[in-house]
Structure 1
Amino acid sequence: MQMLHFGKTTKLIVAAVAALLLVSVALVSVAATASVAAVGNLLVWHYRTLNLPAPTGPYAVGRAGYDWTDPGRIDLLSDRAGEQRELAVWIWYPASPAADESYAPYLPLAWQAAWNQEQGIGRFIQSDPASINTYSIADAPVAQNGAGYPVIIMQPGMGPAAPDYTVYAENLASHGYVVVGINPAYSSNLIVFPDGRVVRRTDEGVIPENAGADDIDKDAARIGKVWSDDAIFVMDQLQRLNEDAASRFHNTLDLGHIGLFGHSFGGATAARVCKTDPRC
């Protein structure tokens, strides 16, 4: 049998290649370990418990949801012709809950499912809605104070929805205000009606990012009119709730003291409503 003999140079090359292979394997192992650790940390962060800031007022906070349809308006923001304007409205209020009542989830289950689907894999870089703790008690009895509570109507920016402002709403309610959060259908990225229907933003319901100055003004006026009419319609509905003997809010709303506030486009809408409606 013929033996193979390697020279000094060949042996050095073989040793160098072996060393490089070992380093490569080590680097791959380190990278894989780091990736697993990063994913693990991301999941821990996503599912961690997040407690919202506690309300600072003396009242416990209740939260109720309503589905109101305005029979007098065709929804100009919907992508379905002839649809009546429909709003999902959240109300936070001073409450008198039973001792064993538990806090409501940040988002109801149907909202959570729709949000997870909407966000896709991107949801893992945000807090899981199911892990966010609120201080609201769903459908708790209204605290009776012998007088009506002043009302604040809240409108979000273009894209967000009323739940995004939970901290503000809970704190105001704890100080004796009834906070009415409007979810502007087809302008919010996502809303869910009490029956589980999911409504997403439409081209008609938002101002395009690449719109020119003239188009921005036209779209803002068109959408702003719808949002303003939403607030006026909600004030009408609150009057009905206050007069309805079967309503939890029967004779508890001080509709002589109504304020409006909003974020971004919602703030502009609030100013527009208060300029035209004497109830504000």
Structure 2
Amino acid sequence: MAVQARPVAVRSLLPSAAVLARFAGPVLVVVLWQLASATGVLPERLLASPLTVVRTAVDLLEDGTLTHALSVSLRRAAVGFVIGAVFGIGLALVAGLSKIGEYLVDPLLQMLRTLPFYGLIPLFILWFGIGELPKIVLVAFGVAIPLYLNTFAGIRSVDGKLAELAQVQRLSRFELIRHIVLPGALPQTLVGLRQSLGVAWLALIVAEQVNADAGLGQMINDAREFLRTDVIVVGLLVYSVLGLLTDALVRLIERRALTWRRSFL
């Protein structure tokens, strides 16, 4: 029986055809990109070849440039995300649990969600200067809106019969929120979390293009001045990888936190 079980274990370690198929498109694009660069169809001055980008990434890692820029950008994103998440979820609770709160909060948030990032930058610079604060505020703004919208929708979608059950069980207001409202709104809140993380990286890219003295955006700006398309591509790829990693993290949280739902079993 041990001999029969070994091939099964080996097969379980091998990537499935579906996983391999998902990589086929990106790999094909990279191959065509390299061929176009090698044959001169795509000049280096317009876009560096994949091999050049890899070599540049290694050089930036070795001299510490990429590591320092990444650490600065991660700090900005983390601080902005925490602030935005607190405001987004907090305002959603205020609006979702009270009609008066909804009348006061929801119209304002619905108006703010239509504002573009670039339109806010001049105002934030006038208010907060050109240091770190306007960049963090811009990220927090981008995070708060999706989290608010989804959490608010999740709270309002909680089955009203559960509230009746809470009255029968004589649950306090705090216990109602903790045991019924928050678990019921959790699936929608996690959707908002995925969206807000994606928006956070977009907001960070915008913020770091304006008066940044460190970070991935500043590295890209310097590369633009010297026509270093290889450095620009490295910076953009790092942004993309960060977005994919944070999205994968939220998906993992979804699978663990929502195991009670049949669709996640």
TM over 0.5: no
Q: Which structure has the greater CA radius of gyration?
A: 1
> Which of the pair is proportionally richer in helix?
2
Q: Indicate the structure with greater strand content.
A: 1
